[in-house]
Structure 1
Amino acid sequence: MPNSQSKNENLTKRVLIGVSGGIAAYKICEVVSTLFKTGVEIRVILTRSAQEFITPLTLATLSRHCAYTDDDFWQPIHSRPLHIELGEWADVFLIAPLTANTLAKLAYGMADNLLTNTVLASTCPLLLAPAMNTDMWEQLAVQRNWQQLLTDSRYHCMSTASGLLACDRVGAGRMAEPREIVTHIQSLLHTRGKRDLAGKRVLISAGGTREYLDPVRFIGNPSTGKMGLALAQAALHRGASVTLVHGPANWEVPLGVQAISVISADQMQQVMLKSLPNADAIIMSAAVADVKPRDYSTEKLPKRSLPQTLPLEPVPDIVTQLAQLKKPHQRLIGFAAQTGDIITPALEKLHNKNLDVIVANPIDLPDSGFGSDNNQAIFLDLQGHKLEIAPCTKLQMAHHLFDFVISEGI
C-alpha cells in the first residue's frame, strides 16, 4: 500500500516553567516531577513572591537543574542575557500559578523581573494556569486582562476550576490540577501551539457499553475509554469544540469538553445520532457491544433462575447508521480492535461501513489496547494511505490521528 510510513517520539522536549506567588505553587512540584519522568528537560523561574511559598532548591532537585530567580537575572554571570537564553531554549513555556499581578503584567507587556522579561524574549507557545481567590478572579479588571490574553494566539489559557480554595471560599479560581497541566503541555509539545481544529466540532464516542440481563449482571468488555478521553483532550487543545459520549468510566472529563454519559448501546445510538448533524468529525472509538440479552429482568435474578442458555439479540450498528446519515463535509473515523492480523479486517470494515479513516490497533500485544495508557496502530483511509504508529501514549496516538485526518482535509 502506498505512502506507508512510521511515526515515533524520540526528540528531546524542553519546557520552561514560571512560578508566581500563590499557594497553588506547591502543585508545580508534581508537574515538574511528572514531566521529568517522561524525559522532558525542564528549567524553572520563580518570582520573588513565589519563593515565599516554595523554594528554588525544591524545584532544582525535582528538575535536576538549578532554578532561576531575580537574583540570577541581575548577576553578570552569563555569556548571554539570561532571559534571552531561556526564551530561546524553550519549546513550551508554562506559567502556573498565574496570579492577578503577573496576569496584569502580561496583558500590558510589562517586563520588570526575570519571568516577564523571558516572556517577551520568547516566541514558543505559552500555557497559562491562573489561580486566585474567587472575588479576585471575578474582578472586572482581572477578567479584562484575561480576555485580552485570550485574543493572542500565542497564549493557551486553562480554565480555572471551582472548589474549596485556600481561603476556605468555595468557588471559581482554583488552579487546574497537575495532570491536566501536564497533558496540555504534552499536547503543545506535539502541535507547537497550532490550533488547526479551531472552529471545528468533533464528536467522539468512548468506552464500553453494558447490556444488562438484570440490575447487576451485564454483557460488557474491558474498554476503559482512555483512548476516547485522549482524543477529546487532543481535539480540545487544538482548538475544537468537543462532545464526548462515553460509557461507564472512572476518569474525570476535561474542563471545556461537553460530556454525555451513557450505559447501553441503545443510549449511545440515540445520543450519537442526535449529535451528528452538528459535527465536522465523528470518531467512534467506543467499544460498543455486539449483542445484548433478549430479555431483561427488573429484579435481580436468583442464581437458580439464571437461564442455562442466554437468548441474545443484536444491538444497533451505530457506525453504519452514522455513515448512512453523514454529509459530504463530515469525516467519520472508526476503530478496529483486533488480534493477529489487524489490517485485513480493518480494511473490510473501512469499505463495508463507508468510513473515511479507520484505526487498526492490536489488543493482544503488551501495553496496548484496552485499559493501557499506551497504544499502537495503523491508520488506513479510502485513498490507500497507510500510516503505522509505533507504541506511544494514547494522547500522542490521538494527535497522530488528527494530523492524519487534517492532512486529508477535515
Structure 2
Amino acid sequence: MLKNKRILIGVGGGIAAYKVCEVVSTLAKAGAEVRVMLTEGAQRFITPLTLATLARHPAYTDADFWQPNHHRPLHIDLGEWAEVMAIAPLTANTLGKLAHGLADNLLTNTVLASTCPILLAPAMNTDMWLQQSVQRNWAQVLQDRRYHSLAPGEGVLACDRVGAGRMAEPPELLAALESLLHTGGDRDLQGKHLLINTGGTREFLDPVRFIGNPSTGKMGIALAQAALHRGATVTLVHGVMEPALLAQAKGARQIQAGTAATMHRAMLEHQPDADWVVFAAAVADVKPTHYTAHKLPKADIPDALPLSPVPDIAADLSTHRLPHQKLIGFAAQTGDIVPPARDKLQRKKLDVIVANPIDQPESGFGGDRNQAILLNAAGEQQPVPLASKLHLAHRLYDFVLTNSTLN
C-alpha cells in the first residue's frame, strides 16, 4: 500500500520530533516517496540533515520557503504533490494557526495550499493540552473533515509529568497513514458499531498448564484500527495479548476474555449494540474436562486427557443476530482453503468469511502480513494477495460494503 505513495510529513517543535525519524525511515524503506518540512522550532530538536537522510530527499525549512529559487511557490508544489499529510508533533502554536486558518510559515502555508487528508498527532505538556483554549482549537480543527486525529496518550512526559500529552507512537502513525492512503480520508463506517474478537483463548488444566494456540491477535488489532480510521465505534474482546499491541487499537473499548467461556459471555453481552460482528479470535475447540485449582504433579497428569467442547461463539451469536447485523468470520485453513471456509460460512449463517492459508509463507499466526480469499453468502469470492494485515482489514470492509446493503 505504501510503494510510490506521496506522503508529506510536517514536523513541529517538540521533543517528540525524534519519533518522526522512525516514521520517515519506515515509509522510505517501504518504497513511499517522502517529503519532510520542519518548522523553525522543530530544527531545535532535530536537524534537516537527519530527516533528509532518512527520507532519501532534501528536507524543507522556512529558509527554502522564502528563497525565490523554485519554478513555482514551494508550498503550492508540495500541497499539490501530497496524497496525504501528517503533522507530528503538532504543537499548541501550530494547532492554533490551523484552527483559525493562519499561515505564516512553510508548514501552515502548505496546509492551506493542499486538499489531501491531514493526520494530526499532538504532543505537549499535560497542562498545556488541557487548557480550554487548546481544547477549543482542537475541537474546532476536527470539525473540518480533512483533519484526522491521533489524540495524545498518557504516560511519563519529557517534563517528568505523568498525564495526557504524549504523542502517538510510530506504529500508530504508520497505520493511520496507511489507512488514509487506502480510504482517501473517507469515513464510510461512521455511525457503525463493530464488535470484534481477537487473540487466542487458553483452556486451563491447572493454574500453569493450558490448551492454547499461537495466535497473537494482530489480525484483530488491524481490524480494529481500520474500523476506527474509517469512523466506526469499536468494541474489542480479546484474549491474553501484549500490552504494546493492544495500545495500537487505542480508541477501541477493550475487554479481556482469556477463555472461550468468558469470550462467549462478553460477545453475547455486547452483541445487541453491534452493527457488524467480526469473529477473528482463535478460540479453542475443546477444554480439559477437569480443572485442578493447584498445580498437578507431573506424575498426576493423565496419559489420556479427558476433553469437553467449548461454546461455539460464532454459531451461537448467529442464532441471536438482529435483522440489521452483519456477521463476519475467519477460517484459518491448510490445503484447499475455499471448501471448508464456505462450509463454515453456510453452517454458521455468516454473511462473509475470510479464508486464509496458514500453511503459506508469511500467512500463519503471529506475522505482520496475511493473504486471503474473501467469500460471501451470495457465492462471490475475492482474492487478497499477500499484504499487511491492515490492508487485508480494509479490503474486507470494502468487500462487505460493496456486497451488502447497510441500513
Name which of 67, 77, 97 aligns with 2:69: 77
Q: Deviations over 1:256-299 (max 9, x none)?
A: 11111111100000000000000000000111111111000000
The one-letter code sitting in structure 1 at the alignment partner of 2:14 is G
- 1:252 corresponds in structure 2 to 246
| Distance (Å, rounded) in 2 between the aligned partners of 1:12 and 1:63 | 13
1:11 CA drift (Å): 5.6
- Match in the other structure for 1:230: 222
Decide which of 325, 329, 333 is 1:338's aligned counterpart.
333
Q: What is the rounded CA distance, in whole Å, between the counterparts of 1:346 and 1:195 in structure 2? A: 30
- Partners of 2:158 and 2:97 in 1: CA distance: 24
**Residues 134-180 of structure 1: CA deviation (Å, up to 9, x unaligned):** 11111111110000011111100111111111111111111111111
| 1:6-85 matches, cutoff 5 A | 9=1, 12-85=4-77
For residues 211-244 of structure 1, the C-alpha deviation after alignment (integer angstroms, 9 at most, x for no partner) is: 1111111111111111001000110111101011
Q: Output the amino acid matched with 1:363.
A: I
1:347 is aligned to 2:342: yes
Deviations for 1:168-207, whole angstroms, at most 9, x for unmatched residues? 1111111111111111111111111110011110000001
CA distance in 1, matches of 2:263, 2:231: 25
1:166 equivalenced with 2:158 (yes/no): yes
Residue type at the aligned position of 2:374: F
Is residue 2:402 matched to residue 1:409?
Answer: no
Partner of 2:82: 90
Q: Give, as a single letter, the amino acid of the residue that structure 2 aligns with 1:393.
A: S
Whole-Å separation in 1 of the counterparts to 2:377 and 2:323: 14
Q: Is the 8 A contact 2:8 2:34 kept in 1?
A: yes
2:238 maps to 1:242: no
Deviation at 1:48, TM superposition (A): 1.0
Alpha-carbon spacing, 1:164–1:71, altered in 2? closer, same or farther (3 Å): same
Change in Cα spacing, 1:120 to 1:10, as seen in structure 2 (3 Å) is closer
Alpha carbons 1:362, 1:369 under 8 Å: kept: yes
**How far off its partner does 1:115 sit?**
0.5
Q: Is the 8 A contact 1:154 1:193 kept in 2?
A: yes
Rounded to whole Å, the distance in 2 between the matches of 1:55 and 1:176 is: 21
% of aligned pairs identical?
65
Unaligned runs of 5+ in 1: 1-8
Residue correspondence of structure 1 range 4-403 to structure 2 within 5 A? 9=1, 12-250=4-242, 251-253=245-247, 254-403=249-398
CA offset digits 1:89-137 (Å, max 9, x no partner): 1111000110000000000001111100000000000000001111111
Other structure's SS at 1:252 match: helix
Question: CA shift at 1:308, angstroms?
Answer: 1.3
Q: Is the 8 A contact 2:2 2:31 kept in 1?
A: no
> 3-state DSSP class of the match of 1:227?
helix
The answer to whether the 8 Å contact 1:243/1:258 transfers is: yes
Residue 270 of structure 1: SS of its match in structure 2?
Answer: helix
Distance 1:365 1:27 in 2: 34
Paired residue secondary structure (1:159): coil
What is the CA-CA distance between 1:409 and the residue it aligns to?
A: 2.9
The answer to whether the Cα contact below 8 Å between 1:159 and 1:255 also exists between their aligned partners in 2 is no
Q: Contact 1:244/1:257 (CA < 8 Å) preserved in 2?
A: yes
Q: Counterpart of 1:303 in structure 2: which amino acid?
A: K
Superimposed CA distance per residue, residues 380-402 of structure 1 (whole angstroms, 9 cap, x where no aligned partner)? 00111110000001010001001
Q: Is the 8 A contact 1:291 1:315 kept in 2?
A: yes
Q: Report the CA distance shift for 1:263/1:343 in structure 2 as closer, same or farther (over 3 A).
A: same
Letter in 2 for 1:128: L
Q: Deviations over 1:37-75 (max 9, x none)?
A: 211110000111111111100000000000001111111
Q: What is the RMSD of the two structures over their aligned residues, measured on CA atoms?
A: 1.0
Contact 2:152 2:166 (8 Å CA) reproduced:
yes
Instruction: Give the Å deviation of 1:252.
Output: 2.6
User: What CA distance in whole angstroms lies between the structure 2 residues aligned with 1:280 and 1:47?
Assistant: 43
Per the alignment, in what secondary structure is the counterpart of residue 305 of structure 2? coil
Larger RCO of the pair (alpha carbons < 8 Å, separation 6+): 1
What secondary structure does 2:16 align onto?
helix
Kept in 2, the 8 Å contact 1:285–1:334? The answer is yes
Equivalent position SS for 1:67: coil
Aligned partner letter, 1:204: I
CA displacement at 1:369 relative to structure 2: 2.2
Contact preservation (8 Å) 2:280, 2:329: yes
Bigger mean CA offset, 180-189 vs 116-125: 180-189
What SS does the aligned partner of 1:333 have?
strand
TM-score (norm. length: structure 1): 0.97
